[in-house]
Structure 1
Amino acid sequence: MTTMTLGTTAPSAHRPRLISRALLLRFVSIVACSVSFFLPLAVVPVLAEGSSPVAGGLANGALLGATVAGELASPWLMRRLGARAVLAAGLVLLGAPTFLLLTSTSVQSFVGIGVLRGLGFALAIVAGGAVTAALVPAERRGEGLAIAGLVSAVPSLAALPLGMAITSATGPATVFIIAGAAPLLAVASVVGLPGRVQRAGRPVADSRASGIVAGLRSPGLLRPAIVFAASAAVAGAVVTCLPGALAGGAVSLAPAVLLLPPATAAGGRWVAGRYGDRVGHRRLFVPGILLSAAGTAAMAATADATLVLIGAALFGVGFGALQNATISAMYERADDAQYGTVSALWNAGYDGGMAVGALGISTLGALIGDAPAFLALALALPLVLILVRRAPAA
């Protein structure tokens, strides 16, 4: 079984090479996961909402909730089966159940299939994330993770609005076929990746500090994940609730609202990666949260096209900066035996935050209205800065 050994790079006067053949192979599964996850993400709630006002939130909430559960179990599976096997299993589980949506589009089907796809997505991104971290030189980690983030962001950027456009043009079946086939085809790329991520001379399985429980007890790992989860809650609310909440002159902006946050997040993540490597990633937490909150407050003006677009762009920049800053800060605090744990905690914060945002804002919006619900989220978001103040310095 192929193994990736870490922490053995000799000092050099030159910056270490960033792009390798193995990293390029890893990009294949990154793209496949992004296409499969995001293409139907906005389509499913629209189809499900014909049954009840909260059906869309339930459908995406089930997907994201199962993702969080799978992410927390992934490090345990990686220690026993290896990163490559877990990544391949995740790709299969993400893709294969999607074809079942061709035969049934009831809320029950969306929820059940979403659970299976969520588990598959979890396995793929946690195992794949640990492999990505192993393939990137530590001296250029922020930059390398930013590049991997851009590789993920480009298909994500296209997939969200494209899923809605394809559904309008040909129906949802085409969306489900593409989303099912992409990860299954990407399984072949896994063969060239490391089977296990380990430090020189010691397998990850031998480390008692690499599990989820140990990660939850480590403030240096847990607090950045919580900071990012707060911003991810807005992303879940935007994808699930904002297109249906737009009113007046902003109604026609649904595709743009789905397009802008991932577009500006890609730029925010790239700038944060290069800047964070030089000055410290934790310094970007505060501006990232404040940008996210400002953007959310602007999007609460659901009938004002200009404010909604400005808000979507601002939120995307803050969200992208937090994506890179938080995970880079977590890897700085971890040794290689904890790479799977870092990937699991960060992704659990991502998807857990999205699930809370999707279900919470759809429920709150039904009670007090969509615009007040988004404004309440914007006002609550800066409270997470308390954790930033208490976090240990990088």
Structure 2
Amino acid sequence: MPGMPEVLALTVISFTGYSALLPVAPMWAVEGGADEVGAGLVNGVLLLVTILTQLSMPRLLRNFGWRWTLVSAALLLGLPAGALALNSDLWFVLLVSAIRGVGFGIITVGATSLIAQLVEPARQGKAIGAFGLAIAVPQVLFTPAGPWVAKTVGFETVFAIGTLPVLGAWLAWRLAGKAKAVPKTSGEPAPFRNLARPMVIMFGLTVCGGGILTFMPQMVALPTESLAALLLLTLTAALTRWLAGTLADTYGARRFLWPSIVITTVGMLLVGFAVREPEATNLVALLVGAVIVGVSYGALQTFTLSVSLQSVKPQHYNSASTVWNVGFDAGTGVGSVLVGAIAAGTSFSVAMYVGAALSLLTLPLAFGVRRA
């Protein structure tokens, strides 16, 4: 549909730069002398600024319009990545992460809002699925490869990949001409009560996903086990996030919410069982659990975004996109912190069980979502 190729291309370019630096920026801070706490702050600052920017998106669009907001986002996400080569001090890496967080926050909310505008409701599920695939493929390819490239080829190569979002500036310029202008006055308030349920469901899911993606290398005995589990999870998530769009359009996304939550819970329990003894990982249970979590991690992202857009009127698509993205990023960040804190006091197995319980607690919410 008109505008969708540009949305998907901008998404691929942006998430390529984002994914490559996600594990490498903390490594660069360690090269500059930072400890584990400092390294953890790098993506923490990125995530915090991302969320604050997402919450500011309606105001940014009203004040500056789509063109300057989107173009600035591409530049803010890409240009600072090249500057990392100049300095590895922690303060400088944190500053770069904060600037990039502004760009990333705008891109994530802007892309989902544009999909809602450009695609008719009957086909939004497929569009969201394609959007999810455009996010997932760069993550599958560049997140695992980034550290290897940094160590074998050099950090500068990864920094160069991180600047790729700059190329999206011209796509952003073209897209802005297809977007609907945001009125200066907010008008009828968005029904945030309708958006709260899918957001909390997303939050519970990404708490689980954030914990696994962050700590899988520490949970298992061998690096190959971690690589296999993460690869299966991300590949499965990429496929199901795409295919779930067709299911959402054909049968409605709401009916798939509760099965997806149950699937998440089962997968987390299996992963927790597999890592009871870090020096003797139950590999079969780990890989099966990773696939099961991957199924729900991909599909539920598509289903909750589809439900969020269906829960509001077209003039509130920007608000729906903002709330959904905040739930996603906040859950990922909380998952990383929560799993680490629980594992420090007990074990990673207990942390996975807690994640399963948190996911299951969102189950009643799946039966109360509303349509605009």
TM-score by length of 1: 0.85
* Alignment-derived partner of residue 38 in structure 1: 19
1:349 aligns with 2:327: yes
Aligned ranges 1:150-299 → 2 under 5 Å: 150-179=133-162, 181-195=163-177, 197-198=179-180, 204-209=183-188, 214-215=189-190, 218-247=192-221, 250-299=222-271
- % identity of equivalent residues: 29
- CA distance change for structure 1 residues 46 and 357 in 2, over 3 Å: closer, same or farther? farther
* Alignment-derived partner of residue 133 in structure 1: 116
After the TM superposition, which of the residue ranges 224-233 and 99-108 deviates more from structure 2? Answer: 99-108
User: How big is each residue's C-alpha offset from its partner over 1:122-180, in whole Å with a ceiling of 9 and x where there is no partner?
Assistant: 0112122211221212211111111122122212221111213312322333212211x
Once the two structures are TM-superposed, the CA of residue 192 in structure 1 deviates from its matched residue by 1.7
Once the two structures are TM-superposed, the CA of residue 323 in structure 1 deviates from its matched residue by 0.8
Counterpart Cα distance in 1 of 2:229 and 2:86: 30
Aligned ranges 1:111-122 → 2 under 5 Å: 111-122=94-105
Q: AA paired with 1:147?
A: A
Number of equivalences: 364
Counterpart Cα distance in 2 of 1:203 and 1:58: 35
Once the two structures are TM-superposed, the CA of residue 383 in structure 1 deviates from its matched residue by 0.5
1:385 aligns with 2:366: no
Counterpart Cα distance in 1 of 2:27 and 2:62: 39
Kindly indicate whether the alpha-carbon contact (under 8 Å) linking 2:133 and 2:242 is maintained by their aligned counterparts in 1.
yes
TM-score by length of 2: 0.90
* Alignment-derived partner of residue 16 in structure 1: none
Q: AA paired with 1:353?
A: G
Structure 1 unaligned runs (5+)? 1-18
Counterpart Cα distance in 2 of 1:51 and 1:362: 19
After the TM superposition, which of the residue ranges 81-90 and 312-321 deviates more from structure 2? Answer: 81-90
1:77 to 30, 53, 60: 60
- CA distance change for structure 1 residues 52 and 291 in 2, over 3 Å: closer, same or farther? farther
Kindly indicate whether the alpha-carbon contact (under 8 Å) linking 2:115 and 2:124 is maintained by their aligned counterparts in 1.
no
* Alignment-derived partner of residue 376 in structure 1: 354
* Alignment-derived partner of residue 24 in structure 1: 5
Kindly indicate whether the alpha-carbon contact (under 8 Å) linking 1:364 and 1:373 is maintained by their aligned counterparts in 2.
yes
Counterpart Cα distance in 1 of 2:345 and 2:24: 24
Kindly indicate whether the alpha-carbon contact (under 8 Å) linking 1:143 and 1:274 is maintained by their aligned counterparts in 2.
yes
After the TM superposition, which of the residue ranges 71-80 and 377-386 deviates more from structure 2? Answer: 377-386
After the TM superposition, which of the residue ranges 39-48 and 279-288 deviates more from structure 2? Answer: 39-48
- CA distance change for structure 1 residues 168 and 375 in 2, over 3 Å: closer, same or farther? farther
Kindly indicate whether the alpha-carbon contact (under 8 Å) linking 2:201 and 2:359 is maintained by their aligned counterparts in 1.
no
Kindly indicate whether the alpha-carbon contact (under 8 Å) linking 1:60 and 1:240 is maintained by their aligned counterparts in 2.
no
After the TM superposition, which of the residue ranges 253-262 and 31-40 deviates more from structure 2? Answer: 253-262
Counterpart Cα distance in 2 of 1:131 and 1:309: 36
* Alignment-derived partner of residue 278 in structure 2: none
Counterpart Cα distance in 1 of 2:120 and 2:370: 24
User: How big is each residue's C-alpha offset from its partner over 1:45-99, in whole Å with a ceiling of 9 and x where there is no partner?
Assistant: 4555784444444322221121111100011111222223212111111112222
Where does structure 1 differ by over 6 angstroms across 4 or more consecutive aligned residues? none
